[in-house]
Structure 1
């Protein structure tokens, strides 16, 4: 009997230690902030790069964050599309990293709202908290748009949600709530289906197949931190409605492996208006042109910054001649296809 008790106690102690190790790893990863200054100015987009793009600052006071962003419009093109396009950014980026895409839609007559998630760029937060946080931020923004008097004119408009990667998961998974009836279409680039799949995918780089021992603890930590939201999936959101959904993913995506993508789950889809597009050779940024990808590869091969240099001023000297507009050039054919998809949904 004593041996049995000692065995149970030993197992419990082992599980507690394993849980503590998992929590420390999880917390270290997601307690990180992503600042604008993390990326050299020579390869960072700003409003100065888009002479006809205008931004009106906006703040969203949520229960746990102050989210900051902008409403974007054109100084030369009238707003002709009677909707609000909400753009959700990817992890390690902020909303300004998508100014090329935002500018495209603005110059086609759309008004765009884009904001920084918790722990990112201009928004508050000591860290990004976890992968479900992008979904929570989007849900909070939609709630505030629907309840705050200053946003009422926008809430009366049809809403179009667009997201990349972390943001792509958010725009699909938020549909699980089923409460925002004025969402008329969703477009996602490189969306993952479940946060836990991404945690396991990244964990395999550190622990190999041993990461599967951590999986139940990771799921438990996410449930404690995010409650029911931790179980939301992209395909669950897509299947919870019949609005037009466009999901695009590249087979060679090195960030969100294809097997963990929303597009890979298309056989599970019950939404008759969902369109899944599989590409190859586009990696993680499916809206960029081939010219931009080639240029990025050339720069990576030709620019060698010594490892001992960590000063931003010194790093800038190696990047000063980079053509930003070429580096972020869009695939105009693909962007036009996306635009037509949205207009048809309206």
Structure 2
């Protein structure tokens, strides 16, 4: 065997090795990411609420620009009987769909004396965008929404709060790095790192391979989102003076309780301006009336291991019951949320 041949074989071995251990996982990660986030998300009509369904709720629509000049649809909500609002709450609804599904919570907040600003994220419902782009897009859109509210003279004297669920909770915590003057945040069922959530989502399908893809997911997000990828919930929470209420159910099958809420308690449990509320048997959406949730589980889940395995017509019925306006909210949980906001508004003005 000649030296030249050995060098050529070594080069080919290195090339094949790089392809297997670098380029193939990278390509797989990129394809996986685009499969999840590379299209628009529209809220189905049968899951949409109408403002007219809520007595005394007034909606004023507006538009504001996000990072690539895509116009996002925002709505300012108020109760017509509230003449002197306590503050303004920005709803961080994440990237899964528009803000409409939060109208029951929005109406409750408005009836308790708050202005509420909600918006459809990039690539959802009434907002522009060819796709929802990815998880950090939720931080970007929320950042631009906060700037939009701060730049409006109409809200100059009002305390500013955030309310985020799931991806919206991740965005609300992470954006604290850029906005140190938020009065209070309620985050429910949130997570602190986008790549970590991707692991949790893909592990049932890919097994341990999902962990091996993490560095490539992080690389792809850095290429797509730049500095926003560096905004991490744990880093933001370790530096902030903002008051934060963490809410999570132990049986959440969308965002891991142990990897997120339990970690928040372990790291920040002694911090006085943080409050932690743990639940059981509430799933990913802890504001749902538990009686309604139990009824739905009895009717549907005993026949199907997961919502994803339900036939389309059964899945539609499942969600229609969960979104029934007359029974949707657990008022006791919503009262905890409002009491938390009220407490820190009072403290701010003492």
Measured in 2, the distance between the counterparts of 1:44 and 1:210 equals 37
Alignment partner, residue 2 of structure 1: 8
Alignment partner, residue 72 of structure 1: 77
1:142-157 matches, within 5 Å, as: 142-147=146-151, 151-157=152-158
Measured in 2, the distance between the counterparts of 1:115 and 1:308 equals 28
Q: Against the structure 1 CA distance between its residues 238 and 207, is the aligned structure 2 distance closer, same or farther, given a 3 Å change threshold?
A: same
Measured in 2, the distance between the counterparts of 1:24 and 1:319 equals 29
Report Cα offsets for 1:7-32 as digits up to 9, x if no partner: 22222233223312221221121112
Long gaps (5+) in structure 1: none
Alignment partner, residue 206 of structure 1: 205
Contact 1:291 1:326 in 2 (8 A): no
How many residue pairs match? The answer is: 332
Structure-1-length-normalised TM-score: 0.87
Report Cα offsets for 1:80-127 as digits up to 9, x if no partner: 41x111111144232110011000010011110000111111111111
Measured in 2, the distance between the counterparts of 1:50 and 1:296 equals 24
Alignment partner, residue 42 of structure 2: 35
Alignment partner, residue 3 of structure 2: none
Match of 1:124 among 123, 128, 140: 128
Q: Against the structure 1 CA distance between its residues 236 and 288, is the aligned structure 2 distance closer, same or farther, given a 3 Å change threshold?
A: same
1:16 to 2:20 alignment: no
Partner SS state of residue 245, structure 2: strand
Measured in 2, the distance between the counterparts of 1:301 and 1:13 equals 44
Measured in 2, the distance between the counterparts of 1:26 and 1:214 equals 11
Contact 1:45 1:324 in 2 (8 A): no
Alignment partner, residue 300 of structure 2: 300
Structure-2-length-normalised TM-score: 0.86
Measured in 1, the distance between the counterparts of 2:282 and 2:33 equals 30
Partner SS state of residue 183, structure 1: coil
Report Cα offsets for 1:131-179 as digits up to 9, x if no partner: 11111111111223334xxx122244220011111111111110122xx
Match of 1:99 among 103, 106, 113: 103
Match of 2:65 among 61, 68, 91: 61
Partner SS state of residue 59, structure 1: strand
Q: Against the structure 1 CA distance between its residues 140 and 271, is the aligned structure 2 distance closer, same or farther, given a 3 Å change threshold?
A: farther
Measured in 2, the distance between the counterparts of 1:152 and 1:236 equals 31
